[in-house]
Structures are given as structure tokens and as C-alpha cells.
């Protein structure tokens, strides 16, 4: 109680308090609902199934992300084995002509080994280190199928009011497709647009306001990148308002190779910290 801990360590202490509660589900990534998002995207890819109809640029977006700590102190002290699942959906809520379909849903199960003991890297305070086995897919088939498998390694750096997250990944190779509709890699050039890593930062302005940024870049001559900006602020003791802006490639798998720009307004049920 008298020892000062970092925000990340504080979150882990909260999670440990409910670890034995069979009715408690832990959040993984943020959980949020954006009832109103406006997207500037190219919907030509859907022409074959929409006919004369069109998707609305105004839709809803929401994310559900949970995790389960299966084994604390796995093999070694302070290493936890976790299972996590994240689903992010783009929902044509206001498109009555098409009966309000879900335009796209991305599913992301993963297994993570996380080392929770703080350590220093050239003077930088590392709060957590992790390696995960990650699958991401939009759950569709044929020309709409998108997926990839990765091994992801990352560190989380605590620097006062700002928490930094740096991660990189190795894409597990897949066989090439022999025919357009056959079994094989649906998106062989995905790393040309999403790169091999990303940098995130969360600035806790005070106890009530958080500003986040996420950056990606492919570091190639044909430059492709992305930026996500988020601002969360209090509405009630357990509910936050949330504004999110995205610009670049890879907001969803169906648009991994299409430049998109989106802004959304809504609520956040759980934040990173």
C-alpha cells in the first residue's frame, strides 16, 4: 500500500484481485462502442454482392476484447500464460435498404507469454515484455477472405505519465494460391502495407483523461503507414466518452491495401489503463 507502482503494475494488481472469481472476465484491449463513425473508403470491392445498392459512409464500430490468465508463474516466476480474443466489427446500423448488415468483422485470437517483472534497457524502464502467437482473420471466404498468422514480440515502457508500447512481428509464411478461389495465402502483400511492427503511446493527462496514438509504417520507398488517435474522458465512474480518428492502411483486413480515413464518436467501457 505504501509502495508507488506504475499504472501498468496497478492494472496487474487489480487483475490479480479477481483472478479467482469465476464470474470475472478480464479486458484485453479496449472495449468500446462508436455508434457514429464516418468513413472515407472505396467500397468497389463489394460491387459484386451489392448490385445497385451501396454501403453508407456512416456506420457503427465496436470492439470486444477479453483475456484469461491460464497459468501464473508459468515455468518461471513472473511469466504468465494468457489466452485472449478480440473481435472488431463495422456495422451498417443505419442502412435500412440492406437490412443493416455487418460489413466486416475481424477476429483475433492469440496466446501470450508475458513477463511482468520490470527491468531496464539502456536506462529505459521496461514494465512488461511479451511474446504472442496471433491469428487475425475476417472469417470470410472466396474473394473476401483475409487472414494472417504472426509471432509478435513487444515491450511496454513506463515513462512517467506516458506509457509506450513497441512491438514487432514475424509473419508465418503460407502457401501461394494455385487458383484465385483455392486454398492458400489470401493477402501475400499485407506486410507491404502494414509493415513489421508498430509504436503506441498512452498519455494519462490526469486521472480522468487519456490520449492515445498508434503508428505504423512499412519503411519502404513506396511509403505506406497509418495513424490512430484516441481521446477518452469521463462520463460516469465506470464509463468513458471516446473519440477515435484513423488515417492510413489496415484499419480492417478487407481494406489492408486501401487508404481509409475514419472518425468515430462513442463510449469506452474499458481502457488500456
Question: Quick check: 92 and 55 in contact, CB under 8 A?
Answer: yes
Q: Which three cell numbers stand for residue 137?
A: 482473420
Indicate the DSSP class of residue 75. Answer: S
Residues forming a β-bridge with 69: 82
Residues 6+ apart with CB under 8 A from 156: 8, 126, 127, 128, 129, 163, 164, 165
Which whole-number Å values give the CA distances from 52 to 1, 41, 106, 143, in the listed order?
Answer: 64, 18, 26, 19
Question: Quick check: 36 and 62 in contact, CB under 8 A?
Answer: no
**Of 65, 137, 145, 221, catalytic:** 137
Q: Which three cell numbers stand for residue 192?
A: 507491404
Q: Which residue do the cell numbers 475514419 mark?
A: 262
Active site residue 135: yes
Measure the CA–CA gap between 168 and 12, rounded to whole angstroms: 23
Active site residue 137: yes
Measure the CA–CA gap between 85 and 104, rounded to whole angstroms: 17
Question: Residue 131's closest CA among 170, 162, 157?
Answer: 170
**Of 6, 89, 99, 135, catalytic:** 135
Measure the CA–CA gap between 139 and 145, rounded to whole angstroms: 7
Question: Quick check: 267 and 32 in contact, CB under 8 A?
Answer: yes
Which backbone phi and psi does 222 adopt, to 5 degrees?
-85, 80
Q: In 138-187, which ranges are E strands? A: 147-159, 162-171
Indicate the DSSP class of residue 14. Answer: H
Catalytic residues: 135, 137
Amino acid at each position: 500500500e505504501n509502495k508507488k507502482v506504475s499504472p501498468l503494475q496497478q492494472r496487474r494488481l487489480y487483475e490479480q484481485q479477481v483472478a479467482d472469481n469465476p464470474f470475472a472476465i478480464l479486458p484485453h484491449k479496449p472495449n468500446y462502442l462508436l455508434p457514429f463513425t464516418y468513413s472515407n473508403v472505396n467500397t468497389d470491392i463489394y460491387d459484386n454482392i451489392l448490385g445497385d445498392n451501396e454501403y453508407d459512409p456512416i456506420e457503427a464500430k465496436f470492439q470486444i476484447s477479453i483475456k484469461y490468465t491460464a497459468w501464473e508463474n508459468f515455468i518461471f516466476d513472473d511469466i504468465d500464460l494468457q489466452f485472449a480474443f478480440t473481435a472488431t466489427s463495422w456495422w451498417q446500423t443505419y442502412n435500412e435498404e440492406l437490412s443493416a448488415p455487418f460489413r466486416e468483422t475481424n477476429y483475433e485470437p492469440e496466446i501470450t507469454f508475458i513477463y511482468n517483472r520490470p527491468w531496464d534497457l539502456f536506462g529505459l524502464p521496461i514494465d512488461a515484455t511479451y511474446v504472442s502467437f496471433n491469428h487475425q482473420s475476417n472469417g470470410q471466404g472466396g474473394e473476401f477472405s483475409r487472414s494472417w498468422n504472426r509471432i509478435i514480440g513487444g515491450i511496454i515502457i513506463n515513462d512517467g505519465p506516458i506509457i509506450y508500447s513497441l512491438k514487432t512481428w514475424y509473419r508465418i509464411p503460407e502457401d501461394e494460391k494455385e487458383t484465385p478461389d483455392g486454398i492458400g495465402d489470401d493477402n501475400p502483400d499485407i506486410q507491404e502495407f502494414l509493415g513489421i511492427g508498430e509504436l503506441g503511446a498512452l498519455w494519462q493527462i490526469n486521472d480522468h483523461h487519456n490520449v492515445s496514438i498508434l503508428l505504423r509504417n512499412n519503411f519502404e520507398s513506396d511509403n505506406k503507414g497509418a495513424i490512430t488517435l484516441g481521446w477518452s474522458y469521463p462520463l460516469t465512474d465506470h464509463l468513458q466518452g471516446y473519440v477515435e480518428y484513423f488515417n492510413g492502411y489496415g484499419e480492417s483486413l478487407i481494406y489492408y491495401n486501401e487508404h481509409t480515413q475514419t472518425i468515430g464518436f462513442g463510449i469506452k467501457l474499458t481502457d488500456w489503463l
